[in-house]
Amino acid sequence: MIIKLKELTIFTKQEPVILELDSINYFYGPISTGKSTIGRLIMHCFGKNIDLTYALQKEFISIQLKLLIGNNDVIIEREKDSSQIVVHYNDKSINDPKSLIVPLVSRDNVSLIPDEEVYNISDLIFYLGGVSPPKVLRSKVKEDSKRIRLGIKDLMWYSYLSQEEMDSSFFYLSKGEDFMKQLKSRDVLRYVLGYYQEEVSKLEEEMVAIREEKASTKTSAQQIRDILEQNNIDDTNKISEEMKLLQNSLLEIEGKLTKIDSSIQNDNEDTIKKLRGERQEIYNTISEYENSLHFFDTQIEKQTKLKHEFLTANIRSDRDISASKLFRELTWYKCPECGNKIKPPKEESACPICKQDKSFDSSSKTNAELLERTKELDNSINALKNEKRTTEQLLTKYQMFLQEINEKINYLEEHYDSQFLTAASDLLSQKGIIEGKIHLCEKLLPLPKTADDLDQRSYDLEGKLAKVKDQYIKAKKNAEKDKENIELLKSYFLENLLTANFPQIDKNYEVLMNTNDFVPYLKPSGEGELSIVEFASLGSGGKLTLFKTCFALAIHRVSMKSNKLLPSFLIIDSPMKNIETKQDEEIFKGFHKLIYSLASDELKDLQFIIIGSEYDEPEKKYKLKPNSREFTRDIHSENPPLIPYYEGP
């Protein structure tokens, strides 16, 4: 899995400490200068909780790691004592930057990325790397074991060789190690070596699914049988007989209720029928009165409007009469229309302008007629209003009659319900109980058959599981028959030991490895078990660290050649632990020859971070330029400690 570390920034109380990281990085110097802290803080960014040194306890604030995961530029940030990590990432192919707050462990089973199985920092790293998290059986012994994921921290056992465990643990593979870690470490090797092939993985998933369905089926069948036993039911026939008895009892009770109902209804039916007839007559009368009121309102509105029109006409007539009187008193000498001199009329009563008789007064006559019509309309409107008031009074009276009849009918009907409930309460209670029992029987009726079907399904699943299990065993054996990778691992391991000048090991030795535990043993060809060399029997601390480092390099060589499942970096903290450089110069030179030869060839895509006490420059033939940095305890020198201003334990 492509994981390239680019830059580590340690934020302290006074200043940030920035470490640029290259393909090969070598940090060296005496103890108590902060070298090992580099590896620990890198692991801290991947979710590992670490014990803070005294210097970190006093000065450390937060950490930031810039890296490449798959095709994503990533920045990981974590504050001191925080249980969550902030991750910024950007897929370089689409340039879509995103940020997430990621818990160290899953919370509420809610994915951090929609439609993806990303619940914690481990899942996110696999997701960004474009790799599906490996799944293995939790237990290698229990048949009903579930499949669980290998986490990124499990893979990191082979990518971070910590100083603390360099000479105390062989990747948790040896006897006496933490049992769960031992199983997971073996699973990591199985994946790297190809023992977990796709077919084996699918068959494991199928077995788990069958076992879960079988367990669910058996549980459901047992629950059904418990319900039947609680109700004293043995089979379907007994439920059917019980239902027939209950239905007959129900018919008998319903017959009794019908008789009670008929008896009470006969007593009240005639009275209610009569009242309903009277109510209908009142409804009709009320309707007639309401129609009359509507008619009165319409006529009053029309006549009032006509009266207003007459009054307006009368006012206009009065104006005409006033104007006529005014002009009658005038003497006209010239015509107001043409201006010619007016000749006196022949008759004295004639108008000098129009020559008509002045004694005729049409305006006065019209005015009198209008007044007469207005009085008639007033009388008519008053008469309509009187009739309306009388009708309203009658309407109110009949509405009261209607209310009284409705109350009588309601009373009789309610009295009927009360009578019926009083007489039939016991029967109604019995009816409800019987109906409930019938409903329960209807639910119980198919249960015996359902239980039998579930038992049959469980039996079928048992047979199916046996077949899949046989296929799984065969597939697993076939996978383990492919010894190419295990032989490569043994070959690489021996080659690494010889190149590193491991004491007392020569080309006549062979590597033995049992695929049940993957613990490597070395012995001279043809020699017995007394000559076996293994991690637990080495004794010397220097041999232990070198033995472990050579095995880690061997597994990375296999990973790079096959599936590249392991992270593409290797941090080796104190590979020369307990080895004196001057006295064991051959081992010191041999180890660095091993590192540089692999880094320039087979493991050129693997990033190295080596932390030691002394640095050995690579030979020119390797064409390598390590990013080397020396640390000292002197804060005033050119090579201060990791926290450049800190002096203390």
What's the pLDDT tens digit per position in 550-608?
Answer: 999 999 999 998 878 899 999 999 898 878 777 889 999 999 999 999 999 999 999 99
More confident residue, 338 or 19: 19
Mean of per-residue pLDDT scores for the chain: 83
In the three-class reduction of DSSP (H, G, I as helix; E, B as strand; rest coil), residue 630 is classed as strand
Q: Which of 163, 57, 77, 82 is nearest to 646 (CA)?
A: 57
For the beta carbon of residue 300, count every other beta carbon within 10 angstroms: 17
| 240-249: average pLDDT | 77
**In the chain, % of residues over pLDDT 70:** 83
Q: What is the pLDDT of residue 307?
A: 78
More confident residue, 580 or 477: 580
Q: What is the pLDDT of residue 500?
A: 94
Q: Which of 523, 512, 445, 491 is nearest to 231 (CA)?
A: 445
**What angle is formed at CA 434 by the lines to CA 433 and CA 438, rounded to 5 degrees?**
120
- The answer on pLDDT for 200 being more than 70 is no
Cα 239 from Cα 246, distance rounded (Å): 11
- The answer on pLDDT for 417 being more than 60 is no
More confident residue, 627 or 96: 627
pLDDT band at 422 (very low <50, low <70, confident <90, very high): low
**How far is residue 488 from each of residues 106, 193, 494, 518, 551, measured CA to CA in Å?**
37, 9, 10, 13, 12
- Among 42-56, 151-165, 397-411, 608-622, the range scoring the smallest mean pLDDT is 397-411
Helix axes 447-481, 236-328, angle to 10 degrees: 100
pLDDT tens-digit profile of 612-636? 999 999 999 999 999 999 999 999 9
Q: What is the pLDDT of residue 9?
A: 97
- The answer on pLDDT for 65 being more than 90 is yes
Considering 10-24, 413-427, 533-547, the range whose residues carry the highest mean pLDDT is 10-24
pLDDT band at 265 (very low <50, low <70, confident <90, very high): low
- Among 50-54, 234-238, 381-385, the range scoring the smallest mean pLDDT is 234-238
Structure-token match 């948790």, residue found:
172
| 88-114: average pLDDT | 87
pLDDT band at 492 (very low <50, low <70, confident <90, very high): very high
Q: How long a stretch of residues is the chain?
A: 649
Amino acid identity at 170: F
Q: What is the pLDDT of residue 411?
A: 72
Q: What is the pLDDT of residue 325?
A: 66
pLDDT band at 98 (very low <50, low <70, confident <90, very high): very high
Q: What is the pLDDT of residue 584?
A: 87
In the structure encoding, which two tokens stand for residue 493, read together? 């391991």
pLDDT band at 330 (very low <50, low <70, confident <90, very high): low
